[in-house]
Amino acid sequence: MKIYTKTGDDGKTSLIGGERVQKNHPRIEAYGTVDELNSFIGILRAQEIDAHSKDFLINIQNNLFTICSLLAADSEKTEKKLPQINQEDVSSLEKEIDEMNDKLPEIHSFVLPGGNQVVSYSHIARTICRRAERTIIKLSEEMPVNNIIIKYLNRLSDFLFVLARKFANDLNVDEAFYKSNR
């Protein structure tokens, strides 16, 4: 299988279903940002972290691929049966968030990202996730987008925040907190 097809040399790409759109189309921007998030989660997963977190991140990466396919599919023109994101996927994130959060000290201020490479990678993934969520919300103003995708990404950014705190705790990294200079 060749990697290059040359069909995108004119600045267009195909959606699932065959429609050709500009590569800067909001749909492409949306799933491209989710793809960027997926790649960054791959960097996070490649770090020296616990096996449970690695396994859970693989599950998230699979869900992000599903989201990309859903965003790339023209549901009116495709006959392909695509995998779906559902409430169980959101609930799984919520369960993980609650389990991690129960073991962490309370916070009363914003956490400043940083302190360690693994913690920082988690925060970067969180911010990419928020950007992906914003691009999909913008896309939803132009065309129908299943709300469960937005809900999943919203919960995923919360998960990545708590994961950063978990890693800081696991690695004995002091968290820095926002202090107003007023």
**138 touches 46 (CB < 8 A):** no
Cα separation, 51 vs 88, whole angstroms: 22
Residue-level pLDDT at 22: 60
Q: Give the pLDDT confidence score for residue 109 in this predicted structure.
A: 87
Residue 16 in domain: no
Residue 93: its pLDDT value, please?
Answer: 98
pLDDT tens digits, 36-84: 999 999 999 999 999 999 999 999 999 999 999 999 887 666 667 888 9
Number of structural domains, the chain? 1
Q: Residue 7 falls within a domain, yes or no?
A: no
Q: Domain for residue 125, yes or no?
A: yes
Q: Is residue 25 part of a domain?
A: yes
Q: Domain containing 121 — which CATH number?
A: 1.20.1200.10
Quick one: pLDDT at residue 24? 76
Specify the pLDDT at position 99.
Answer: 98
Q: How many angstroms separate the Cα of 129 from the Cα of each of 37, 54, 64, 90, 114? A: 6, 18, 10, 14, 17
The string of pLDDT tens digits covering residues 85-144 is 999 999 999 999 999 999 999 988 899 899 999 999 999 999 999 999 999 999 999 999
Distance of CA 16 to the CA centre of its chain: 21
In a domain, 148, yes or no: yes
- Asked whether residue 101 is domain-assigned, the answer is no
**Rounded mean pLDDT, 15-34:** 81
